[in-house]
Structure 1
Amino acid sequence: MLENKMDQLNISVQQIFGEQEVEIVNFTCEDLDYKTPNFTTAGIFHLQGIALINHEQLPWSIILKIIKSDSAEKEDPAHHNYWRREALVFESKILDELPGSIQAPKCYLVEEQVDGTVWLWMERIEGQFPHTKEQFDIIAERLGRFNGAYLSGKNTPNDQWICRSWLRSWTTSSIMYAPNPEEYIHHLYRDNDQSLWAWFQGFMKRIDNNLNALHRLPRVLAHQDLSQMNMLLTQNGELVLIDWQFMSLSGLGEDLGKMFGVNMSLGVIPIDRYEEFKESLFHSYIKGLKASGWQGDESLARYGYCLSTALRSVWEVPQYFSLSTQLCADSDYLKLQDRVARLEQIINIQREMAEECSTLKAYR
Structure 2
Amino acid sequence: MIINNSTSLPIEKKIDQLYASIHKLIGDIVFEIDALTCEALENETLNFTTKGIYHLFGFLKTNNEQQPWSIILKVIKPDSEEKDDIQHHNYWCREALLFESKLLDHLSEYIKTPKTYLVEEQNDGTIWLWMERVNGCFANSKEQFDFIANRLGMFNAEYLTVKAIPNESWVCKSWLKSWTTSSRMYAPNPESYINQIQDQEVKYIWDWFKKLTEELNEKLASLSNLPRVLAHQDLGQKNMFLTPNEQVVLIDWRFMSISGIGEDLGKMFGVNMSLGIIPTDQYEDYRDSLFYSYIKGMREMGWEGDERLARYGYCISTALRSIWEVPQLCSLAAQLESNPTNPKLQDRVYQLKQIINIHKVMEYEANSLREHIGILITQYSRCGPDGPLV
Q: Same fold (TM over 0.5)?
A: yes
**Cα distance in 1 between the residues matched to 2:19 and 2:104:** 23
State yes or no: 1:73 paired with 2:73: no
Please tell me whether the aligned partners of residues 144 and 286 of structure 1 are also in contact (alpha carbons under 8 angstroms). yes
Partner in structure 1 of residue 279 of structure 2: 270
- Corresponding residue of 2:3: none
In the alignment, is the contact (CA less than 8 A) between 1:33 and 1:43 conserved in 2?
A: no
Q: Secondary structure at the match of 2:255?
A: coil
Write the letter of the residue equivalent to 2:360.
R
Shift of 1:188: 1.3
Q: Deviations over 1:44-84 (max 9, x none)?
A: 00000111122221100000000000010000100000000
Q: Within the alignment, does 1:224 sit opposite 2:233 as a pair?
A: yes
Q: What's 2:373 paired with?
A: 363
* 1:179 and 2:172 correspond: no
Find the residue that maps to 1:151 and give its secondary structure. Answer: helix
1:105 alignment partner, SS class: coil
Which structure 1 segments of 5+ residues have no match? none
Checking the alignment, whether the CA contact within 8 Å between 1:221 and 1:249 is kept in structure 2 is yes
Code of the residue aligned with 2:193 in structure 1: it is Y
Supply the distance in 2 between the matched residues of 1:267 and 1:196 (Cα, whole angstroms): 20
What TM-score, normalized by structure 1, do the two folds share? 0.99
Q: Mean Cα displacement is larger for which, 261-270 or 23-32?
A: 23-32
Q: Which residue of 1 aligns with 2:338?
A: 329
Q: Does 1:233 align with 2:245?
A: no
Task: Give structure 2 stretches of 5+ with no counterpart.
Answer: 1-9, 375-390
CA contact (8 A) 2:29 2:62 kept: no
Aligned to 2:388: none
Does structure 1 residue 130 correspond to structure 2 residue 139? yes
Once the two structures are TM-superposed, the CA of residue 363 in structure 1 deviates from its matched residue by: 2.9
- Output the amino acid matched with 1:249: I
Quick one: distance in 2 between partners of 1:326 and 1:187?
12
Paired with 2:348 and 2:199, the residues of 1 have a C-alpha distance of 17
Aligned-pair CA distance for 1:157: 1.0
Q: Does residue 113 of the first structure (1) align with residue 122 of the second (2)?
A: yes
From 37, 59, 72, the equivalent of 2:68 is: 59
3-state SS, counterpart of residue 3 of structure 1: helix
**TM-score (norm. length: structure 2):** 0.92
- For residue 190 of structure 1, report the CA deviation from its aligned partner: 2.9
Inter-partner Cα distance in structure 2 for 1:22 and 1:214: 52
1:160 to 154, 165, 169: 169
Tell me, in whole angstroms, the C-alpha distance in 1 between the residues paired with 2:342 and 2:307.
44
Q: CA contact under 8 A between 2:159 and 2:229: conserved in structure 1?
A: yes
1:16-35 equivalences in 2 (<5 Å): 16-35=25-44
Amino acid at match of 2:291: F
- Give the letter aligned to residue 320 of structure 2: L
Match of 2:20 among 11, 33, 37: 11
CA contact (8 A) 1:13 1:22 kept: no
Q: Distance in 2 between matches of 1:118 and 1:216?
A: 35
Q: How does 1:183-194 map to 2 (within 5 A)?
A: 183-194=192-203
Query: Is 2:109 the counterpart of 1:92?
Result: no
Q: Percent identity between the aligned chains?
A: 59
Cα offset, 1:191, TM superposition: 2.6
Aligned equivalents of 2:272 and 2:288: distance in 1? 15
* Alignment root-mean-square deviation, CA: 0.9
Question: One-letter code of the match for 1:95?
Answer: L
Deviation at 1:197, TM superposition (A): 1.6
Render the CA deviation track for 1:199-236: whole Å, top value 9, x for unaligned.
11111100000000000000000000000000000101
Confirm or deny: 8 A CA contact 2:75 2:129 kept in the other structure. Answer: yes
Q: Which residue number corresponds to residue 38 of structure 1? A: 47
Task: After superposition, give the CA deviation of every residue in 1:335-354 in whole Å (9 maximum; x if it has no partner).
Answer: 11101100000000001101
1:96 positional shift: 1.1
* Greater Cα offset, 55-64 or 207-216: 55-64
Q: How far is the alpha carbon of 1:20 from its aligned partner?
A: 4.5
On the 8 A contact 2:340/2:346 being kept in 1, the answer is yes
Give, in whole Å, the separation in 2 of the partners of 1:128 and 1:33.
17
* Separation in structure 1 between the aligned mates of residue 59 and residue 12 of structure 2, nearest angstrom: 18
The match for 2:381 is: none
Residue 59 of structure 2 corresponds to which residue in structure 1? 50
